[in-house]
Amino acid sequence: MSVEPLTTDIIVGRLRALDGTASEQSSSECRPVSGRYIRPLADTAQSLLDALQIRDGIGLGIADLDVLTRGFRPTDLVTITGFAHSGKTQVVNTMILNNPERKILFFSLDDPAEMILAKLVAMATGQSAATLEERVRQGDPTAAETINKVADEQLSNLAVVDDVIGMKAMQDAVAEAAALWGQPPDAVIIDYLEMMPGDAMSDDAIANVKAKATDLKRWAKTADYPLIVLHQGSRSNSRPGEPITLLSMGYSGEQQSTIVIGVRRKRDLPSLEAWERQHHDKTVTLHVVKNKRPGGRLTHYDGIDLHMDPTTGLIRAHEPSEALTLGQPHTPAARAYQQAQFAPAEQTPWGEVR
Amino acid sequence: MIPTSTINKFVDLYYGRDDVHGTEEGGCKRQPPDWDGHLDGTGPPIGIYPLVRREDGQLHVVWGCVDFDTVTPTKRTTDYLTERDAHVAACNLHATLGQMGIVAHIERTRSAVGRHVWVHAATWTPAADMRNMLLVACKVAETSTREVNPKQTQLADDQLGNYVRLPYPHHFPQRTIINTNSAPIGLETHVAYACDNLTDPALIAEWAARLPTSPAPTLRYAPPPDEDFWQKLNGKARMVLEEGPLQNDRSRALMYLAGQCVRSGLTGHEALAVIDHAAARWGKFDGRPDRDHQLRTIVQKAYLS
């Protein structure tokens, strides 16, 4: 991360804030009293600012989630779980793109590095990986230039290891990256847990999720960076599209995690109406189902809907025009309007159709 | 020939322990520093130990210095990756101190790609005030705080603390005070300007008081409630634990102990409990907000090496 010069305004502002903090502490008796239910808005503002300016950790870059988790910090074991093809990798890819200045080491046991790069370039440029691939194949020089530019400029702090290696070798790779960068990584991502061979002590032991999660926890406890591990949901408890809970993770792993984030696609729910399915074709739903951070909060049972670009998989908050209101009206008037619009035509005794 | 008045001003600015000094190669020489030799080349470059115990029994300094290291082939622990980053960080700190009413001076350091930021007090200043004021400034400027001198605010009678190599060694003309455009400033100009702009200790104390008091470290690593746990350690580890660090080098002893934990077959968490116990026993990292980080780094280094 390169250091940028500070302007006098910024310095003066920070020095004033320092004074503000001091005077605020000395006059704490004047502050609104926090109760069991009431929380002063000033505290909320501070927690929002903390979440948006994560200094000693790394966030997803998705404010709705970062406000709850307050970012991932050294010694955290963060598990991102969900059914196959629910968007787990897209969540971490979005995090990578949202944190271009952070040193991230990505162990991709599932996809080769080239595919990871293709996905990230697609997300960064807004064009599908297939289109980009086609353009390169046709000898379009600008496509090759685009790939090189994104790799050099936006992803210069990302290192991808796509060998299928065990935990000891991963730790060696982290040390290698730290030596190369001159600092420990800001985050280490493992995609995904089930693909890791063996356990922490012996790379040739039989894969066992619980043992591997325990060993990962042991690693995370002494690490200078958060460990973010992707984890497949179990087929029995994490059916496609269904809300993620702590029971959704295959062969456990939830006890060891500091934070568990669930990922699902509502479009996969069998019970949806066609128009709802069409809308949810562009959504991904994230759940924070475990959060051991002091003051950390969870999402409600239904999770948080976010926009997922259908072409590139980039995840972001919904624009107001993209939010689903039909079927989920916010006000009694809207509900009445919807009922009127969708009520079946009915003939009155007087022959009128209403 | 350097005028005596310039040398005297230089000594006033960078004064510290007058019975010992640090060497260029790294190490302590139990001889008074040769100030003239440092400046005119008749002697080797010197480093000064800033902490001096005054009549009140407290440690005082007349200067503080923040060191920003840059990665070099021989140095892996570093604050910044490039000289440009180290220089921008130094300029940010310099500007922040300026806004705090404190005149600071940037030096191009031994590696030529690192920076020192010096602050000179008008009189003896409590070491804690100087350190805390610099930590406040670093916090505002968002710079590294890995090497904020004085590094200690308390010392045992037989301890010296850390020394800092001084600018303007005759044999290394690139190690001078520079301006924010990296242009070198001559010795006479620097000492004249610095002596005219010394910082009042009251102002240093005022800013030092703004350092948020860190809560005592809460994270401790308890060993397993297993009476045989300590028996898992090999003989060398138990000896270090019982006898304490050699030559009072606690950092080295902790690193050695962590290595012995690996050889004893302890898990990382168990090793952390041992290192935590030893650090608490030897007073290493006491009261430091990064205590937990330091302990984990030691264990991690041992397990990754």
pLDDT, residue A235, reads 58
pLDDT tens readout for residues B54-100:
988 899 999 999 999 887 666 556 778 888 889 999 999 999 999 99
Q: With contact defined as beta carbons under 8 Å apart, do B296 and A222 qualify? A: yes
pLDDT tens readout for residues A80-93:
988 888 889 999 99
Q: Hey, of A1, A2, A6, A54, which one would you mutate to test binding to chain B, going by the most B CBs within 10 A of its CB? A: A6
Question: Given an 8 Å threshold on Cβ–Cβ distance, is A222 in contact with B96?
Answer: no
As a whole number of angstroms, the distance between CA B275 and CA A1 comes to 32
Residue in A15, A175, A179 nearest the CB of B140: A15
Length of chain B: 305
Quote ipTM for the complex. Answer: 0.72
As a whole number of angstroms, the distance between CA A40 and CA A48 comes to 13
pLDDT, residue A340, reads 57
Chain A residues in contact with B142 by the CB 8 A cut-off are 6
Question: Given an 8 Å threshold on Cβ–Cβ distance, is A15 in contact with B96?
Answer: yes
Residue in A5, A75, A172 nearest the CB of B88: A5
Residue type, A45: A
Nearest Cα of chain A lies from the Cα of B165 at a distance, in angstroms, of: 23
Question: Given an 8 Å threshold on Cβ–Cβ distance, is B81 in contact with A11?
Answer: no
Is residue B234 predicted with pLDDT exceeding 60? yes
As a whole number of angstroms, the distance between CA B295 and CA B305 comes to 16
Residue ranges of E strands in B92-248: 104-108, 115-126, 148-149, 164-165, 177-178
Question: Given an 8 Å threshold on Cβ–Cβ distance, is A22 in contact with B210?
Answer: yes
Question: Given an 8 Å threshold on Cβ–Cβ distance, is A172 in contact with B304?
Answer: yes
Helices (H) and strands (E) in chain B, counts: 10, 10
CA distances from B69 to A165, B75, B84, B107 (A): 34, 9, 11, 12
Question: Given an 8 Å threshold on Cβ–Cβ distance, is A5 in contact with B91?
Answer: yes
Q: Hey, of A2, A3, A105, A218, which one would you mutate to test binding to chain B, going by the most B CBs within 10 A of its CB? A: A3
The burial of B156, by beta-carbon neighbours within 10 Å (0-12 exposed, 13-18 middle, 19 or more buried), is given as: exposed
As a whole number of angstroms, the distance between CA B72 and CA B82 comes to 9
Question: Given an 8 Å threshold on Cβ–Cβ distance, is A218 in contact with B140?
Answer: no
pLDDT, residue A28, reads 35
Q: Global pTM?
A: 0.45
Q: With contact defined as beta carbons under 8 Å apart, do B277 and B223 qualify? A: yes
Q: What is the DSSP letter of A318?
A: P
Nearest Cα of chain B lies from the Cα of A10 at a distance, in angstroms, of: 9
| Per-position pLDDT tens, chain A of length 354 | 578 888 888 888 888 887 654 433 333 333 334 444 555 565 566 556 655 555 667 889 888 888 888 888 888 899 998 888 888 999 999 999 988 888 999 999 888 888 888 889 888 888 888 888 888 888 888 888 888 888 888 888 899 888 888 888 888 888 888 888 878 899 999 998 877 776 444 443 334 677 788 888 888 888 888 999 998 866 555 567 777 776 665 556 667 788 999 999 888 888 777 777 777 888 899 999 888 876 667 888 888 888 888 888 889 887 766 655 444 544 555 555 556 555 554 544 444 444
Is residue B101 predicted with pLDDT exceeding 90? yes
Question: Given an 8 Å threshold on Cβ–Cβ distance, is A222 in contact with B71?
Answer: no
pLDDT tens readout for residues A158-201:
998 888 888 888 888 888 888 888 788 999 999 988 777 764 44
